[in-house]
Amino acid sequence: MDLLDRYLAAVAALLPKDQREDIVAELRDTLLNRMEEKEAEQGRPLTAAEREAVLKAFGHPIAVAGRFGTTRALIGPEIYPFYMFGVKALLVVAAVVSAIPAVITVITAPGQAPGVFAQFLSSFISAAFTMIGVATVLGFAIERGWIPLDGLTNWKVADLPRLDALGATGKGFGRKGPNRRRFEALLEVILTTLFVLWWTGVVPAPWSNRVTDSDMVLQPASIWATLYWPLLAWAGVQLVSSLIGLLRPGWVRVRAALEVVCGLAGLALAVVLWRAGRIVVVAPLDGVEPRTDAIAGLQTALDLSLHLTATVMMVVLTVKVAVELWRLFRGDRPSVSAVA
């Protein structure tokens, strides 16, 4: 068996049986033509080393078989853009989920702040790799048809959101690109879901109620028992609004109406909290002699912070309601420049 036969036999061993003979015959003709051209250039028959050089230049048998075999990409070009969009969204989720406990640690335990970045980085890397792995497995399954996605092929142009011509310039209220809107809606869904899970007691609070480096604890004031169901209802409406922004961005008026409801409800809650004057009660640890002056000083500072925060919330929510009312009135009508 000469070099050509050995080369073709190595390639054939890696090819599908039903196509092996045809592909090997095609490769033989191609390689013989190249050797004949080389002989014509030099005016003599090729030596064994020169014939081997021609075969090596053509490629390793594994690479050649890959050109003609039935190998498929892990994630094909049609699925890849959706895969990358999903990976970016999941990375944002990983960053937010990792940042929440880090921020809480900085607020509740300033003494542990130096190690917060390392904590965030470790958590983010772990969550990111896990989410990317899950996305890759799903993309692989979708690419091979194991998970059918009719929505990718049965979409309609009429279902796409209307984008104003001024959207990219940032002029006017809410002039944001569609990707940015979807990311913001996704973050809202995540944060609202986490709040609902914590508020209903499904997930424990990721922070301690003990004041750092002291013998005092913070306990919820009685106002929270009164606001339990109103806050849960507000979170439910906000979650629905965020899901619409994520899944149906073209429903501009529907989401604007829900955001108006959320804004007015939030404004009412801020007023109730401002009038209550106290959302947490400072108390000594069990079995510890209470330090009246320290407790009173911390309680006064917290009550003052509540009034300032509630005032800012009322101003921000008032502006939010005004913006959403404008969007509700305007809806998704095309701008003059877009029509032109």
Q: For 122-153, write each residue's pLDDT tens digit.
A: 888 888 888 888 888 887 777 777 766 655 55
Instruction: Examine the pLDDT at 169 and tell me if it is beyond 60.
Output: no
Lowest-pLDDT choice from 157-171, 202-216, 275-289:
157-171
Distance separating alpha carbons of residues 199 and 235, to the nearest angstrom: 10
Is residue 73 helix, strand or coil? coil
Average pLDDT, the chain: 78
- For the four alpha carbons of 250, 252, 257 and 260, in that order, the dihedral sign comes to positive
The DSSP element (H or E) to which 337 belongs, if any, is helix 336-339
Q: What is the pLDDT of residue 240?
A: 93
Q: What is the pLDDT of residue 160?
A: 55
Quote the pLDDT of residue 176: 54
Q: How many CA atoms lie within 13 A of 229 on its CB side?
A: 1
159 Cβ contact partners less than 8 Å away, ≥ 6 residues apart: 250
pLDDT at residue 334 tops 50? no
Residue 193 or residue 120, greater confidence = 193
| Per-residue pLDDT reduced to its tens digit, 209-225 | 777 667 788 888 889 89
Phi, psi of 228 (to 5 degrees): -60, -55
CA distances from 277 to 285, 307, 324 (A): 23, 7, 29
Q: Does residue 111 carry a pLDDT above 80? A: no
Mean pLDDT of 3-31: 86
3-state secondary structure labels for all residues of 304-334: HHHHHHHHHHHHHHHHHHHHHHHHHHHCCCC
Q: List the chain domain ranges.
A: 3-68, 76-155, 180-339
Residue labelled with tokens 């109406």: 257
Residue pair 143/79 in contact (Cβ under 8 Å)? The answer is yes
**In the 8-state DSSP scheme, what is residue 336?**
H
Instruction: At 285, list the tokens.
Output: 């640890």
Out of 27-41, 80-94, 202-216, 244-258, least confident range: 202-216
Which amino acid makes up residue 140? F
What tens digit of pLDDT does each residue of 46-64 get?
888 888 888 888 888 887 8
Q: Which two tokens stand for residue 222?
A: 């009685």
CB atoms within 10 A of CB 70: 9
pLDDT at 173 over 50: no
